[in-house]
């Protein structure tokens, strides 16, 4: 008689997990640019951008002949010497007083159509070309605000900016278009651009003397002939210690914002601080639309649900978006 052998005891230990595959550059690149996000954010940026652009064009309109016609203060030959003879502009194609007005009318029409979202991508391209033509015609009046207008038009052309709150969306629903939302990868370009602006500003300031020494805001606060400002308490700009602390705070903020805006734990706080920062500068310096454009760029770091107001509407919106659009990564 043979001895009975018991079956070997079954191990209760969990099987070893497979080692995670190393993430390659392509996977990281795809996660950065093509992770799902709510495309309605791009539509909000489109509308805000269109409103700001129309305000800018309304201010320029009375002076179109002054700035962009040969009868104005800068003839075309002299304008070419300021920038380059190869800078693209159609304003020199026709030597007639009505030609700058016609070009300006085309730009205004494209801005209106972009705002309401009619063939949004095409209108963004037309706005980009129009701004380039006018800025290259008279580069002497171009500043950072004009550059941002041109860059943001380019990024909007790469976004599904007409996905919502637009005539494009209405036409898509009538035709039974696709319900699957596109990935608004162009929003990453907004974010990268904002980071480059802050970082380049911080580098340039750090390479100089006044910002590092803490005296830059002392001089800025006394440039009353360069820009206007709303009333502010005098002691803020009369106390050298406070001015130095404020100067260093601005410099530090421009160094850390390009990092904090990308980190999930600090993103919301960084967005709020950046918006307050630009509103404070706008209040004290009145730089027209530059800081409003910067706030627009900052909002590209937000998620659409975070823009809803009052706050209790955000949860309801997020629940509805779950059935329409993918959640943000």
Domain boundaries, the chain: 36-184, 186-287
pLDDT at 48: 98
Tokens of 297: 């760029």
> How does pLDDT run across 23-67, given as a tens digit for each residue?
688 888 888 899 889 999 999 999 999 999 999 999 999 999 999
Q: State CA 150 to chain mean position distance.
A: 11
Residue 323: pLDDT over 80: no
pLDDT digits (tens, 9 = 90+) for 96-133: 999 999 999 999 999 999 999 999 999 999 999 999 99
Instruction: Enumerate the H helices of 175-329 as residue ranges.
Output: 186-207, 210-213, 216-220, 235-238, 240-260, 264-285, 290-298, 312-321
Long-range contacts of 80-83 (CB under 8 A, 24+ apart): 82/139, 82/140, 83/136, 83/139
Lowest mean pLDDT among 29-33, 167-171, 197-201, 265-269: 29-33
Whether residue 182 is predicted with pLDDT greater than 80 in this model: the reply is yes
In the predicted model, is pLDDT for residue 2 greater than 60?
A: no
Q: How far apart are CA 63 and CA 61, in angstroms?
A: 5
Tokens for 204, please give them: 């340039």
Of 51-65, 98-112, 217-231, 232-246, minimum mean pLDDT range? 217-231
């Amino acid at each position: 008689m043979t001895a009975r052998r018991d079956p070997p005891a079954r191990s209760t230990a969990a099987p070893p997990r497979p080692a995670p595959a190393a993430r390659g550059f392509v996977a990281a690149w795809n996660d950065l640019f093509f992770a799902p996000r709510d495309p309605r954010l791009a539509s909000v940026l489109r509308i805000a951008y269109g409103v700001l652009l129309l305000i800018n064009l309304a201010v320029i309109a009375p002076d179109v002949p002054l700035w962009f016609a040969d009868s104005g203060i800068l003839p075309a030959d002299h304008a070419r010497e300021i920038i380059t003879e190869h800078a693209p502009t159609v304003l020199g194609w026709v030597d007639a007083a009505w030609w700058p007005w016609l070009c300006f009318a085309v730009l205004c029409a494209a801005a209106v159509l972009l705002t309401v979202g009619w063939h949004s991508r095409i209108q963004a391209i037309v706005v980009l070309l129009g701004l380039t033509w006018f800025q290259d015609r008279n580069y002497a009046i171009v500043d950072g605000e004009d550059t941002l207008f041109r860059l943001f038009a380019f990024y909007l052309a790469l976004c599904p900016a007409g996905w919502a709150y637009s005539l494009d969306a209405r036409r898509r629903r009538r035709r039974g278009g696709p319900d699957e939302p596109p990935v608004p990868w162009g929003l990453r370009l907004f974010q990268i651009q904002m980071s480059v602006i802050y970082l380049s500003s911080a580098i340039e300031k750090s390479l100089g003397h006044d910002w590092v020494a803490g005296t830059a805001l002392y001089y800025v606060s006394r440039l009353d002939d360069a820009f206007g400002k709303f009333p502010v308490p005098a002691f803020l700009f009369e106390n050298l210690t406070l001015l130095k602390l404020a100067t260093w705070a601005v410099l530090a903020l421009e160094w850390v914002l390009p990092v904090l805006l990308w980190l999930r734990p600090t993103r919301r706080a960084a967005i709020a601080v950046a918006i307050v920062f630009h509103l404070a500068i706008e209040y004290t310096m009145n730089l027209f639309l530059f800081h409003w454009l910067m706030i627009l760029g900052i909002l590209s770091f937000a998620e659409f649900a975070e823009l809803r107001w009052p706050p209790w509407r955000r949860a309801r919106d997020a629940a509805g978006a779950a059935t329409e659009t993918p959640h943000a990564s």
